[in-house]
Amino acid sequence: MRVARLHGRRDLRLHDEAVPTPAPGELLLRVRAVGICGSDLHWYDEGGIGGARLSRPLVLGHEFVGTVEEGRRVIVDPAVPCGTCTLCRAGQLNLCPTVRFAGHGADDGAMRESMAWPAECLYPLPPGLVDADATLLEPLGVAIHAVDLAHIHVGASVAVLGCGPVGLLCLQVARAAGACRVIATELASRPWRLDAGRKWADEVIAADGGRESAAARARLGGLGADVVLETAGDNEAVEAAIEMVRPGGRVVLVGIPADDRTSFSSGAARRKGLTIAMARRMKPVYDRALTLVASGRVDLAGLVTHRFPLERCDEALRAAAERVGIKVVVEP
């Protein structure tokens, strides 16, 4: 089978390898579609993410759809927590210190034709959901977890900073959670993402080095948003989130910064008495994600803008790194 392995920064190579043999409790999957995530781009551009560094040629990809041997289509949870540690027993499976995660560290991901993965991590897909769109169920899970952390109440005002895939899904999930006034921001240099945000936000404001915060507050009655979800992954957006939220509000940091550093003005955050939460992947929310899509409360159609075969996976990653379109998908 064909496999794409990352050997170093922007050094992605295709290999021919044997089809893996499933371990006990695993099933063999034929990979049909893999979404490229911002965390994949950290591996691709920087050779690592956070404290994890590339120590061997790694197969990227954790947003993926496959078929099992009998042809049943499944969406795959890329996280395999231990299930027995203190955090797992407390329901914090996303914080398990020994979690296996596809496309991270010692665990190869889905940018290949076949892979084995635990059967307990597979969820059946509804027939009307096409493979490429279904890869967005994993980032939808991230958005659900972020909104859970935000404690959005019925009638709340919400700002989402960044109109990439996770940001656009946060807009929709915030609506489903009861938000009545929703605004979004995105860089003016990405007009296609500004346009995408207008589908679900009441208003989209071009990000301008943090100066958009005053405009956002004015549109939200002067005090600011009850909740701000930052999905851009840069410090200007974090600073803007602190300025944009109302006193006593909540800020959820979802984006992953390139230099593994997050900073903001502590004075502004302290004076406002803010609650700041950091989002880490997601808890077991695939059932909720599938329900939101099946009910029509979340629309995945149209978010996939670029599709590449496995032979062009390097081109796909470069396209995603340049932020062309919205979601880039590789189809082995």
Query: What is the CATH number for 85?
Result: 3.90.180.10
pLDDT value, residue 70: 83
Same domain, residue pair 113 and 239: no
Q: Which of 212, 203, 202 is nearest to 239 (CA)?
A: 212
CB 97 within 8 A of CB 85: yes
**Structural domain tally of the chain?**
2
Same domain, residue pair 145 and 205: yes
Q: From residue 206, how far is each of 187, 203, 214 by CA, in Å? A: 5, 10, 12
Same domain, residue pair 126 and 229: no
Count of CB atoms situated within 10 Å of the CB of 265: 12
pTM higher than the cut 0.85? yes
pLDDT value, residue 209: 82
Same domain, residue pair 236 and 154: yes
pLDDT value, residue 211: 82
Q: Any bridge partners for residue 91, and if so which?
A: none
Same domain, residue pair 176 and 223: yes
Q: Any bridge partners for residue 29, and if so which?
A: 115
Phi, psi of 91 (to 5 degrees): 90, 5
Query: What is the CATH number for 174?
Result: 3.40.50.720
Burial status of residue 78 (CB atoms within 10 A of its CB: 0-12, 13-18, 19 or more): buried
pLDDT value, residue 261: 87
Identify whether 78 is part of a domain: yes
Q: Which of 259, 37, 271, 263 is nearest to 143 (CA)?
A: 37
pLDDT value, residue 7: 97
Identify whether 325 is part of a domain: yes
- pLDDT single digits (tens) 206-240: 998 888 999 999 988 889 999 999 999 999 999 99
> HEC states along the chain?
CEEEEEEECCEEEEEECCCCCCCCCEEEEEEEEEECCHHHHHHHHHCEECCEECCCCECCCCEEEEECCCCCEEEECCEECCCCCHHHHCCCHHHCCCCEECCECCECCCCECEEEEEHHHEEECCCCCCHHHHCCHHHHHHHHHHHHHHCCCCCCEEEEECCCHHHHHHHHHHHHCCCCEEEEEEECCCHHHHHHHCCCCCEEEEECCCCHHHHHHHHCCCCCEEEEEECCCCHHHHHHHHHHEEEEEEEEECCCCCCCCCCCCHHHHHHHCCEEEECCCCCCCHHHHHHHHHHCCCCCCCCEEEEEEHHHHHHHHHHHHCCCCCEEEEEC
Identify whether 126 is part of a domain: yes
152 Cα distance to chain centroid: 19
User: Could you say which residues of the chain have pLDDT below 70?
Assistant: none
Structure token digits, residue 28: 């063999």
Domain of residue 217: give its range: 140-278
Same domain, residue pair 121 and 245: no
Same domain, residue pair 96 and 20: yes
Same domain, residue pair 119 and 72: yes
